[in-house]
């Protein structure tokens, strides 16, 4: 007989998988199917989970003994990194994405992990100095995948640094637009690029890390 814990079914055909200790629904999860039937179809690559989130979470878990009180998860998609911060550190998390259609999926993942985050529909350009300066961490995973995203992401990070965000971490699977952005930030403000692999897995990437203290 299958053992059922809430909606996490221990069967040969599970509807929830585990990523970095988080419960994440498969596409066949009935709640995911219901959200799709309601017409929520993300258009800015928010239809899948990106390995860069797992890389970022593993880096934070391995290097951070004391978590932040507040986090902005920019370009959050399904919001794994921010949800992990909320669950692990009890952080207040603003999960920000330009695509309103990802928000029901974000809220489902948060619910499956017994945490709350604040969904915010906004573009990178709309994260102003006041909001960034009041936040301990700015995190993002795989948000610089097009050349036209280089300037908005660069400007967002510049505003965060100048307004006093304490720590900034942007992970990426080594795309060229990311390195273009990172080169500008490192030249103007410093920081470091950290190559990171999750344990012995094939999951790896690079993280732009800025300690703004």
What is the C-alpha to C-alpha distance for residues 34 and 20, in angstroms, rounded to an integer? 25
Q: What is the pLDDT of residue 36?
A: 75
Q: Of 74, 79, 131, 135, whose CA–CA distance to 104 is shortest?
A: 79
Q: How many domains does the chain have?
A: 1
Domain that holds residue 34: 5-211
Name every residue whose Cβ is closer than 8 Å to that of residue 129 and which is 6 or more positions away in sequence: 159, 162, 163
Name every residue whose Cβ is closer than 8 Å to that of residue 134 and which is 6 or more positions away in sequence: 70
Q: What is the pLDDT of residue 40?
A: 66
pLDDT tens digits in sequence order for the chain, 213 residues long: 333 334 444 445 689 888 889 999 888 888 888 887 776 666 654 455 668 999 999 999 999 988 999 999 999 999 999 999 999 999 999 999 999 999 999 999 999 999 999 999 999 999 999 999 999 999 999 999 999 999 999 999 999 999 999 999 999 999 999 999 999 999 999 999 999 999 888 899 999 999 998
Q: What is the pLDDT of residue 200?
A: 86
Q: What is the pLDDT of residue 5?
A: 35
DSSP secondary structure letters along 126-150: G--HHHHHT-SEEEEES---SGGGH
Q: Structure pTM?
A: 0.88
Q: What is the pLDDT of residue 136?
A: 98
CATH assignment of the domain containing 34: 3.40.50.150
In DSSP terms, which residues pair with 160 in a beta bridge? Answer: none
Q: What is the pLDDT of residue 14?
A: 86
| Burial status of residue 86 (CB atoms within 10 A of its CB: 0-12, 13-18, 19 or more) | buried
């Amino acid at each position: 007989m299958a053992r059922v814990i809430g909606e996490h079914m221990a069967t040969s055909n599970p509807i929830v998988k585990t990523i970095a200790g988080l419960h994440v629904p498969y596409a066949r999860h009935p709640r995911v199917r219901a959200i799709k039937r309601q017409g929520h179809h993300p258009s800015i690559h928010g239809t899948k989970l990106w390995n860069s989130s797992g890389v970022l979470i593993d880096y934070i878990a391995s290097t951070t003994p004391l978590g932040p009180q507040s986090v902005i998860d920019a370009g959050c998609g399904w919001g794994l990194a921010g949800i992990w911060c909320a669950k692990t550190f009890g952080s207040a998390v603003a999960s920000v994405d330009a695509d309103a259609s990802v928000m029901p999926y974000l809220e489902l993942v948060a619910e499956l992990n017994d945490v709350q985050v604040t969904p915010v529909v906004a573009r990178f350009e709309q994260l102003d100095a006041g909001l960034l300066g009041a936040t301990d961490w700015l995190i993002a995973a795989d948000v610089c995948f097009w050349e036209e995203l280089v300037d908005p992401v660069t400007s967002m990070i510049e505003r965060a640094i100048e307004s006093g965000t304490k720590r900034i971490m942007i992970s990426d699977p080594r795309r060229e637009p990311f390195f273009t952005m990172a080169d500008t930030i490192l030249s103007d403000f410093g920081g470091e690029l950290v190559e990171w692999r999750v344990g012995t897995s094939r999951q790896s990437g690079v993280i732009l890390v800025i300690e703004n203290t």
